[in-house]
Amino acid sequence: MLVGLVSDIHSNLEALEAVLAHMGPTDVLWCLGDLVGYGPNPNECVDLVRRRAGLAVHGNHDLAAVGLLSTADFNPEAAAAIQWTARQLGPKAAAYLSALPEKLVQGEITLAHGSPRYPVWEYVFSRAVARANFDHFQNRVCLVGHTHVPLVFIQDVRTGRVEEQYMEDGQVLDLSDTRWRFIANPGSVGQPRDRDPRASYAVIDTGAHTMTWHRVEYDVDAVQAKILRAGLPRWLAERLRWGT
Ligand code: ZN
């Protein structure tokens, strides 16, 4: 079975459409949260995920946009975009976001937006945080988003030791060896932050036991123009150019 993985779409329709076109047909699509926030097309992105994704979990921006999380801990640009998004969201999209779970387990794989320990807020960015989180899911693979960086933490099940690996376009992770457990991030579709502006996603092949990362160019100029036209903070347009 081929499982397409998208995360942190952030209302960037051009990036999401480019990713789905590049991905081609998969058996299922899973979404790791933050469908909205920052970008100019929240309803269109939610609608596309709602129609395509077999499984999805919520992210902090999704919860804030439907009033289920305070924006007090958001930076000013993110909070401004949440207020704007909340005004734009139609009832169907809001209902979909409100109903998303915070964590899912599907066979060998756990899905959470931030981390399995604290799904809404925790960033798995260091080996210390990853090591603690390996105790918070039972199976071998946990998929997360939230950092917007295509990064994998690999735990040796005998020693508990954790290594990290940044994943580049076309890179394949072998999930078959039961001596290892994984916390893996497919990267961000709509706002990459690893200084590569191309949209990021991954595909798991459950038969071959592999996870493969991909990067895709999309029309950044068009999204930047829409962000500025909507009156969203200028920085949210600029950062898409640099992948920061
Ligand atoms: Zn995000």
Question: Which pLDDT score, from 0 to 100, does residue 187 have?
Answer: 98
Main-chain dihedrals φ then ψ at residue 165, nearest 5 degrees: -150, 125
Question: Which pLDDT score, from 0 to 100, does residue 221 have?
Answer: 98
Question: Which pLDDT score, from 0 to 100, does residue 208 have?
Answer: 97
What is the reported pTM?
Answer: 0.97
CB atoms within 5 A of ion ligand 1 belong to 8, 34
Question: Which pLDDT score, from 0 to 100, does residue 234 have?
Answer: 97
Question: Which pLDDT score, from 0 to 100, does residue 1 have?
Answer: 95
Residue 37 Cα to ligand 1 midpoint, Å, equals 8
Parts of the chain with a pLDDT under 50: none
Q: CB-side exposure of 65: number of CA atoms within 13 Å?
A: 36
Residue 72 Cα to ligand 1 midpoint, Å, equals 16
Residue 7 Cα to ligand 1 midpoint, Å, equals 8
pLDDT, one tens digit per residue, over 98-154 is 999 999 999 999 999 999 999 999 999 999 999 999 999 999 999 999 999 999 999
Question: Which pLDDT score, from 0 to 100, does residue 150 have?
Answer: 98
pLDDT, one tens digit per residue, over 234-244 is 999 999 999 99
Question: Which pLDDT score, from 0 to 100, does residue 41 have?
Answer: 98
Residue 212 Cα to ligand 1 midpoint, Å, equals 21
- Show the tokens assigned to 69: 């999380």
Question: Which pLDDT score, from 0 to 100, does residue 20 have?
Answer: 98
